[in-house]
């Protein structure tokens, strides 16, 4: 047993005590009904995860308003009070099992499709996402202010449900991230890019303030950010540092460091193989039965696009976490590519991050912590094949396609 290692020492996020420094990163569940109410599968998923000594669990992204739904079917909603009693049951069970749970709350902005939001896709600007291709209408300043209220109301519902805190999804190109990015935010009003920091922080600042006003100073606010938007010229290392400094000033309770936007999703969750046939079968943007289009995608579009994909390497966002730690004392959570105990231990002991965060391996091995505790050289079974990620578009619940484990069953 390795109980004396720093990795297995407790740490605090705000006033919440985590029994160790491993968290389960937000993972879309696909286990809610069409109105975003959690089903029994969702309950079972968190019941099972919470039996496994994970320091804290972060839920998949839940929409704060139906106008911010993602295109994946089965997404959770935290947009109405009627859902509170359902989440109460989940939180109660997680706490009964001795674990902690934070809800990730989000608005998709331009990263969705009209059919998911029941009409017009709205974003920070009129700029289209190269992947989603839905021409967004720019939100007016009044609409932006309404959404700030919606984020705070959603956080209040999380508090009433018994979640230990919320995580604001300000990464992966979703709405808060869209405001931050100079490549997308071309607004001329107060919600545009700040002169000094060169990123658009007002939306996020007002959301944090409003959540504090509604939920109190002690209700933890975590935040997930992307270190880069994949365009090194428009969001530089300097912008990243400005963002960390801003969050330091805002005194958020933890900062999770991720990477990228959904425009190149395979740089968020990296892997060696791309399940192209499944994408052509299921993905709402690319699915096609047309033999010519399939041929074109496989032989021309994909080989060109592939050059943008970053390689999977162990702990692939760690250098960004290390950089963030130079500018803040707020706990830094690093996600991406943690598969072995030695990488996790080294990251913590070298003080490159305070907490490690894991997504895909927990999909196939919810009991991963027990395994690495018993065997220091244990290597997670996850192959980074990304079938779990691609299948988020399928309408089926998230699971591992190599049959290791079926979540929520
Ligand atoms: C199936 C799947 C669902 C995901 N859902 C979310 C999500 O809801 N919110 C989020 O911030 N990230 C989400 N992610 C990204 C992960 O949280 C994480 O940042 C990424 O997978 C890298 O970590 P890993 O190498 O441990 O998998 C998802 C990833 C996968 C594979």
**Cα 255 to middle of ligand 1, angstroms:** 15
C-alpha of residue 196 to centroid of ligand 1, in Å:
32
Residues 289 and 201 in one domain: no
Q: Can you give the pLDDT at residue 409? A: 47
208 and 300 in a single domain? The answer is: no
With a cut of 90, say whether residue 4 has pLDDT above it: no
Q: How far is CA 320 from CA 150, 257, 347, in A?
A: 31, 7, 12
* 279 or 18, which is more confident: 18
Q: Which atom of ligand 1 is nearest to the CA of 172?
A: 11
> Are residues 388 and 303 both part of a single domain?
no
Please give the distance, rounded to the nearest whole angstrom, from the Cα atom of residue 252 to the centre of ligand 1: 21
| 203 pLDDT tier (thresholds 50, 70, 90) | very high
Mean pLDDT of the chain: 93
Residue 393 binned pLDDT confidence (cut-offs 50, 70, 90): confident
**CA–CA separation, 14 and 167 (whole Å):** 12
Cα dihedral sign, 311-313-315-317: negative
Tell me the C-alpha distance between 76 and 67, whole Å: 13
Sign of CA dihedral 205, 63, 76, 283: negative
| Neighbouring C-beta atoms of residue 230, cutoff 10 Å | 18
Strand, helix or coil at 298?
Answer: helix
Query: What integer is the mean pLDDT of 367-380?
Result: 94
Which atom number of ligand 1 is nearest to the Cα of residue 382?
Answer: 27
Are 263 and 156 members of one domain?
yes
Where residue 303 falls among pLDDT bands split at 50, 70, 90? Answer: confident
Q: Which of 22, 23, 27 to mutate to test the pocket of ligand 1 (most atoms within 8 A of CB)?
A: 27
Residue located nearest, by CA, to atom 16 of ligand 1:
359
- Span from the CA of 195 to the centroid of ligand 1 (angstroms): 32
Euclidean distance between CA atoms 353 and 365, whole angstroms: 23
Are the beta carbons of 332 and 347 closer than 8 angstroms? Answer: no
Give the residue with greater pLDDT, 406 vs 259: 259
186 with 317, same domain: the answer is yes
- 258 dihedral zone (left: phi>0; alpha: psi -120 to 50; beta): beta
d(CA 327, CA 222): 17
Same domain, 141 and 289: no
Atom 10 (ligand 1) nearest CA: 26
- Residue 407 resides in a domain: no
Residue 377 lies in a domain: yes
Q: Give yes or no for residue 273 having a pLDDT over 80.
A: no
How far is 246 from 394, CA to CA, in rounded Å? Answer: 38
Ligand 1 atom closest to Cα of 337? Answer: 25
Q: Name the least confident of 189-193, 199-203, 231-235.
A: 231-235
Percent composition of the chain: helix, strand, coil (DSSP 3-state, to 5): 40, 15, 45
pLDDT at 402: 80
Ligand 1 binding residues, C-beta < 6 A = 25-28, 60-61, 104, 169, 171-172, 224, 258, 268-269, 335-338, 358-360, 388-389, 392, 398
Tell which atom from ligand 1 comes closest to the C-alpha of 167. Answer: 11
pLDDT tens digit string along 208-251?
A: 999 999 999 999 999 999 999 987 678 899 999 999 999 999 99
294 and 322 within one domain: no
Looking at residue 283, what is its pLDDT?
79
Does 269 share its domain with 217?
A: yes
Average pLDDT over residues 331-336: 98
Residue of the CA atom closest to atom 20 of ligand 1:
269
Torsion of CA 274, 264, 29, 219, to 10 degrees: 150
Residues 13 and 23: beta-carbon distance below 8 Å: no
Nearest ligand 1 atom to alpha carbon 61: 8
Domain presence at residue 95: yes
pLDDT band at 403 (very low <50, low <70, confident <90, very high): low
State whether 99 and 190 are in the same domain.
Answer: yes
Report how far Cα 397 is from the mean position of its chain's Cα atoms. Answer: 17
Q: Which atom of ligand 1 is nearest to the CA of 59?
A: 8
Which range is least confidently modeled, 22-31, 175-184, 379-388? 379-388
In angstroms, what is the span from residue 363 Cα to ligand 1's centroid? 10
187 pLDDT higher than 80: yes
Kindly give the number of the ligand 1 atom that is closest to the alpha carbon of 270.
Answer: 25
Residue 189: which CATH number?
3.20.20.70
CA of 390 to the centre of ligand 1 (A): 11
Return the pLDDT at 228: 92
Instruction: Count Cβ neighbours within 10 Å for each residue of 35-65 and write b for 16 or more, e otherwise.
Output: ebbbbebbbbbbbbbbbbbbbbbbbbbbbbb
Residues contacting 124, CB < 8 A, separation 6+? 109, 110, 138, 139, 175, 178, 179, 184, 185, 187, 191, 200, 203
Q: Report residue 309 as tokens.
A: 């994909």
Name the domain boundary from 263, 291, 308. 308
Angle of helix 237-250 versus helix 202-215 axis, rounded to 10? 20
Lowest-pLDDT choice from 4-13, 145-154, 318-327, 338-347? 4-13
Q: How far apart are the CA of 332 and the centre of ligand 1, in A?
A: 17
- C-alpha pair distances (Å), 64 with each of 99, 131, 132, 153, 181: 24, 23, 20, 8, 21
Paired with 248 in beta bridges are none
Q: Which atom of ligand 1 is nearest to the CA of 106?
A: 9
- Does residue 60 share a domain with residue 29? yes
Q: Distance, CA 290 to ligand 1 centroid (Å)? A: 31
Please tell me the predicted confidence (pLDDT) of residue 408: 47
The residue whose CA has the least distance to atom 29 of ligand 1 is 27
CA-based Rg of the chain, rounded to a whole angstrom? 20
Q: From CA 107, how far away is CA 32, in angstroms rounded?
A: 17
In eight-state DSSP terms, residue 112 is: S
Instruction: Please tell me the distance between residue 169's alpha carbon and the centre of ligand 1 in angstroms.
Output: 11
Going by C-alpha positions, the residue among 157, 176, 161 that lies closest to residue 224 is: 176
In a domain, 408, yes or no: no
For residues 114-125, average pLDDT: 94
pLDDT band for position 121 (cuts 50, 70, 90): very high
Number of domains in the chain: 2
Based on the fold, state whether residues 110 and 216 are members of the same structural domain: yes
Coil, helix or strand for 296? helix
Q: For 307-353, give the DSSP string.
A: GGPPPP-TTTTHHHHHHHHTS--SPEEEES---BHHHHHHHHHTTS-
pLDDT score of 406 more than 70? no
Which of 29, 32, 359, 385 gets mutated to test ligand 1 (max ligand atoms within 8 A of its CB)?
A: 359
* Interval 63-92 mean pLDDT: 97
Examine residue 288 and state whether it is found in any structural domain, yes or no. Answer: yes
pTM, two decimal places: 0.95
The alpha carbon of 142 and the centre of ligand 1 are apart by a number of angstroms equal to: 32
| pLDDT higher than threshold 90 for residue 325 | yes
Q: Give, using CA atoms, the residue closest to atom 21 of ligand 1.
A: 269
Query: Which of ligand 1's atoms lies nearest the C-alpha of 398?
Result: 1
Residue 299 is part of which domain span?
Answer: 280-308
- Which stretch of 80-84, 186-190, 405-409 has the lowest confidence by average pLDDT? 405-409
Rounded Cα distance, 365 and 321, in Å? 25
Comparing 406 with 99, which gets the higher pLDDT? 99
CA distances from 396 to 30, 265, 406 (A): 6, 19, 12
């Amino acid at each position: 047993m390795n109980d004396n290692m720093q990795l297995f020492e407790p740490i605090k996020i705000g006033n919440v005590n985590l029994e160790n420094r491993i968290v389960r990163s937000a993972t879309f569940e696909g286990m809610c009904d069409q109105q975003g109410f959690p089903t029994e599968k969702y309950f079972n998923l968190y019941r099972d995860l919470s039996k496994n000594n994970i320091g804290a669990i972060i839920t998949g992204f839940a929409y704060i308003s139906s106008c911010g739904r993602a295109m994946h079917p089965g997404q959770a909603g935290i947009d109405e009070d009627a859902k509170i009693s359902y989440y109460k049951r989940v939180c109660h069970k997680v706490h009964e099992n001795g674990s902690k749970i934070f809800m990730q709350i989000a608005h998709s902005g331009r990263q969705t499709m009209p059919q998911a939001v029941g009409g017009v896709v709205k974003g920070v600007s009129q700029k289209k996402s190269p992947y989603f291709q839905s021409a967004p209408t720019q939100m007016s300043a009044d609409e932006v202010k309404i959404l700030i209220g919606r984020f705070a109301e959603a956080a209040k519902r999380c508090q009433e449900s018994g979640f230990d805190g919320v995580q604001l999804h300000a990464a992966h190109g979703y709405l808060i991230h869209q405001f931050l990015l100079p490549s997308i935010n071309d607004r001329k009003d107060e919600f545009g890019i700040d002169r000094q920091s060169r990123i658009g922080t007002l939306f996020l600042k007002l959301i944090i303030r409003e959540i504090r006003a509604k939920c109190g100073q002690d209700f933890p606010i975590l935040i997930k950010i992307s270190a880069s938007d994949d365009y090194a010229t428009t969001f530089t290392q300097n912008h990243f540092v400005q963002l960390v400094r801003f969050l330091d000033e805002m005194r958020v309770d933890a900062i999770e460091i991720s990477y990228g936007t959904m425009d190149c999703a395979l740089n968020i969750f990296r892997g060696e193989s791309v399940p192209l046939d499944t994408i052509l079968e299921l993905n709402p943007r690319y699915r096609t039965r047309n033999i010519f289009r399939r041929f074109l995608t496989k032989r021309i579009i994909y080989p060109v696009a592939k050059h943008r994909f970053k390689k999977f390497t162990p702990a692939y966002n760690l250098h960004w976490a290390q950089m963030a730690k130079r500018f803040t004392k707020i706990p830094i959570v690093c996600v991406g590519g943690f598969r072995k105990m030695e990488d996790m231990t080294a990251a913590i002991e070298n003080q490159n991050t305070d907490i490690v965060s894991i997504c895909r391996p927990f999909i196939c091995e919810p009991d991963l912590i027990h395994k690495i505790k018993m065997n220091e050289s244990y290597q997670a079974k996850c192959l980074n094949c990304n079938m779990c990620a691609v299948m988020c578009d399928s309408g089926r619940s998230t699971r591992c396609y190599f049959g290791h484990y079926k979540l929520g069953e």
